[in-house]
A and B are shown apart, each in its own frame.
Chain A
Amino acid sequence: MNFLLLGYLIVVVVPLLAASWRVSLLGLALQGLLLGWIALRSHHGLSPLSGIVLADCVILRGLVAPKILHRILTTHNTPRRNDVIPANLFSWVLVAGIVLASFRFATELSEVQPSNPLHLATVTAALLLALLVLSSQTSMFSQMVGLLRLENAVALFELLPASHESVLVQLGLSLVFLLTALLFGRFLRAELRSGSTSTPRRSHVTL
């Protein structure tokens, strides 16, 4: 399990250092696939619940969500460069500091509450880095990447305890994630079409 968590940490950190939207989406896809792998290892035996969790991680988070955004960006010939965090030494040091602080936090918490320190450190780092992306970026695409990173981090936290008691609840969570990804696609398409102009699309009459 530990090598999977280390792999997850790498796919969380590395895309931050590469200022390209393709690398960001590849990072999200790899996060989804690794989540699926971790889910497979942590759910002993195949059940309807574990099947849904696996499909949620691999298909929705690993393939569908990144693919929707990729297709829209490709269709609009978006320039390759996209900073996920500001490209400067301060941001990179901040990233390193967040990862180190996450390990420190996980070690201390594990001493008072039994838990896997590496799992906890990976979740904490992924969460804090997602919040860093959200707080430092103003472009819609970067904020979407930040939000998807945040949702993946929460999904990673939920994987080990396996505390969802109902298949229906897990189905609902997956459905909400899918609807959110589709809505992101609509927003991104509209944003790329209009650019920064404020062109009214519809009549002036409102309720």
Chain B
Amino acid sequence: MTEAPQRGDIAVLDAPTSAPPYGSKATTALVVVALAAVGASGWVATMMSPETTRLAFDGFVRIDGVSRLFLLLINLVFLGIATYVWGRVYSTPALQDTIGHYVGFALVFMTASNLAIVSNHMLVFWLLLEASTLAAVPLIQYRGHHTSRAASWKYLLFSSVGLTLALLGLSCIGRSMELGSAQHATFFIDATGPLIRTSDDHWRRLGLVLVLLGFGTKLGLAPMYSWLPDAYDAAPPATTALLAAVQFNVALVAVLRVMQAYGMADAALVSGELVSLGLATMAVSALNVLAARNYKKLIAYAALNHAGVIAVGLAVGKDAAYGVLLYAVSNAFIKAILFLTAGKIRVHYQTEQISEVSGLIKDLPYSGSLFMIGTFALLGLPPFGSFLGELMIMSALVASSYLLVFGSFCVVLTVTFVATGRAIFPMIWGEPKKQAHWGRQPVATILPKLLFFVALVAMGLYLPDGINGLFRRAAAELGAP
């Protein structure tokens, strides 16, 4: 599809004189809600007894270290995306007519995502993840052409199969509890521990395998990953950022909850499955990055690599817990920066072909710089949080004697590193193919990416005590010493 009337790349603070009435109302509401959500999650994260786990609403709501960290993360990313959408609609009147529906579904998506993260009941978590999936379908379809419809169908199909397998897995675990001494099943995370039998239990083991495979589908883990590059490519950049930085982390929290509730009794099984899924995903990602000709798809395949690294980190367990969290949070910001910037590049060049884009740093200095920074962070270079997180995961692999996994991990990472650099660096530093055209760009579309950049650097260099405490508390709940 083609894009809005072209604009250049320099950030100019003055706004267009006539603001679209309806579009700006809907998007202003989106920004206000996002601000309120960031305020509320910030309050929950820092003020509401940050050292304790709280239950509310008959035990259905759980506020602990993991939920505090991820609530704050997804709402910060949402605020950035909402600001970006506001800026796009403000500067592009043609978007006014359809933005109302987009905002509505985005709010449903975010409500379901927030509630899922604070859910203390695995079936309710599953329901909310499914609800956010259904709300994401119209967001992917926003462009309204055949490709986006096909991609959204693929997304729905794979998500539904994955979530149905996860539901089946939860039912198997429920059956295991009923056959145990307790004679009844519960899906409340805090009440599960005493009901999990320590003996060899086929139902529980089968259930765990299915649940991890099912939720792994939402993370984009192999073998059910093929929806991800298509959906990320066909969706508008704002939706892609929502899927990659928000829904990905909700699915990650689902996996963390499964490990908290059921994983301890079958640690070896969980670890083995996660290592297999993680390494397979990294290998698939490396091969596809090598073959990628489309920069948005290339970022999507690199995002698969991140999912693989996180799965391997989770497999190592407590020693890598802090590193996994740092890596996951960093990657949410990296993906938001890269996908939102990719949208800007698409608008400017009218193409997503890598070979058609060259000299970004001269042609689009702001987007080019952000794309360069995002790529460095994507590749795990210092001083970003992703570097530190990856380093911690690798040292935990060695410390836990996963030497073969460590070797494979390094080989695949190197291939991905070289392939990504080979494709993206000429885009940034090559000779410009278009005449430099520095027109206006609302500050609202650049500001969120700059803030994400600051957060990324902060995670690599210095984390304030309050934020570091959040990471430490969440890691401790995953077993970190």
A and B are interacting partners: yes
Interface residues, chain A, with chain B CB atoms under 8 Å away = 109, 112-115, 127, 134, 140, 143, 147, 150-151, 154, 157-158, 161, 163-165, 169, 172-173, 176, 179-180, 183, 187, 190-191, 194, 197-207
Report the nearest A residue to B206, measured CB to CB.
Answer: A109
In the complex, 19 of the A-B residue pairs with CB atoms within 8 angstroms, ordered by the A residue number, are: A109-B202, A147-B164, A154-B167, A157-B171, A158-B171, A161-B174, A163-B174, A164-B123, A165-B185, A172-B124, A180-B134, A187-B149, A187-B153, A199-B146, A201-B144, A202-B145, A203-B94, A204-B3, A207-B238
Complex-state Cα separation, A140 to B131, whole angstroms:
21
Query: Is B36 in the interface zone, CB < 8 Å from A?
Result: no
How far apart sit A112 and B206, CA to CA, in the bound complex (Å)? 14
Tell me the bound Cα distance from A150 to B132 in angstroms: 20
CB of A69, distance to nearest CB on chain B (Å): 15
CB-CB under 8 A for A207 and B171, given A151-B164, A198-B146, A200-B1: no
B185 pairs with A161, CB closer than 8 A: yes
B146 & A127 in contact (Cβ 8 Å cutoff): no
A183 to B145, Cβ gap below 8 A? Answer: no
Complex contacts, A150 vs chain B, CB 8 Å: 161, 164
CB distance from A185 to the nearest CB of B (A): 12
B146-191 with Cβ < 8 A to chain A: 146-147, 149, 153, 156-157, 160-161, 164, 167-168, 171, 174-175, 177-179, 184-187
Residue B333 at the chain A interface, CB threshold 8 Å: no
Which residue in chain A gives the minimum CB-CB distance to B102?
A207
Q: Are A205 and B343 in contact (CB under 8 A)?
A: no
| Shortest Cβ distance from residue A33 to the other chain B in the assembled complex, whole angstroms | 21
Residues of chain B with a CB closer than 8 A to A173's CB: 123, 127
A147 to B157, CA, bound (A): 8
Which of A157, A190, A204, A205 has the most CB atoms of chain B within a 10 A radius of its CB? A205
For chain B, which range describes its interface: under 10, 10 to 19, 20 to 34, or 35 or more residues? 35 or more
A38 and B324 alpha carbons, distance in the complex (Å): 45
User: Which residues of chain A come closer than 8 Å to B187, judged between CB atoms?
Assistant: 165
**Would A204 and B121 count as touching, CB distance under 8 A?**
no
Contact indicator B145/A187 (Cβ below 8 Å): no
Check if A172 sits within 8 Å of B156, measured CB to CB: no
CB-CB under 8 A from B156, the residues of chain A are 183, 187
B88, B102, B124, B161: the one within 8 Å of A147 (CB):
B161
Is B98's CB within 8 Å of the partner chain A? yes
B171 in contact with A154 (CB, 8 Å): yes
Q: How far is the CA of A129 from the CA of B423 in the complex (A)?
A: 42
Chain A residue at smallest Cβ distance from B27? A207
Docked Cα-Cα span, A151 to B156, in Å, equals 14
Give the distance to chain B from A139, nearest Cβ to Cβ, in Å. Answer: 11
Known: A134-B157, A202-B145. 19 other contacts (CB 8 A): A114-B179, A154-B168, A154-B171, A161-B178, A161-B185, A163-B175, A169-B124, A172-B124, A187-B153, A190-B149, A197-B146, A198-B146, A199-B146, A204-B1, A204-B3, A206-B3, A206-B4, A207-B85, A207-B89
Partner of B134, one of A127, A161, A183: A183
* Closest Cβ neighbor of A115 among chain B residues: B175
> Taking CB as reference atom, which chain B residue is nearest A165?
B186
Tell me which residues across on chain A come within 8 A of B186, comparing CB atoms: 165
**Contacting pair A147 B160 (CB below 8 A):** yes
B residues near A179, Cβ cutoff 8 Å: 131, 134
Q: Chain A nearest CB: distance from B268 CB in Å?
A: 19
Question: Is A134's CB under 8 angstroms from B161's CB?
Answer: yes
Q: Say yes or no for B389: interface residue by CB 8 A criterion.
A: no
Counting CB contacts under 8 A, is B363 at the interface? no
Asked whether, in the complex, the Cβ of B121 is within 8 Å of the Cβ of A169, the reply is yes
Q: Name the distance in Å between A161's Cβ and chain B's nearest Cβ.
A: 5
User: Is B316's CB within 8 Å of the partner chain A?
Assistant: no
Say whether, besides A157-B168, A180-B134, A180-B160, A206 and B142 are in contact (CB < 8 Å). yes
Question: Are A161 and B123 interface neighbours, CB within 8 A?
Answer: no
On whether A206 and B127 interact (CB within 8 A), knowing A147-B160, A161-B174, the answer reads no
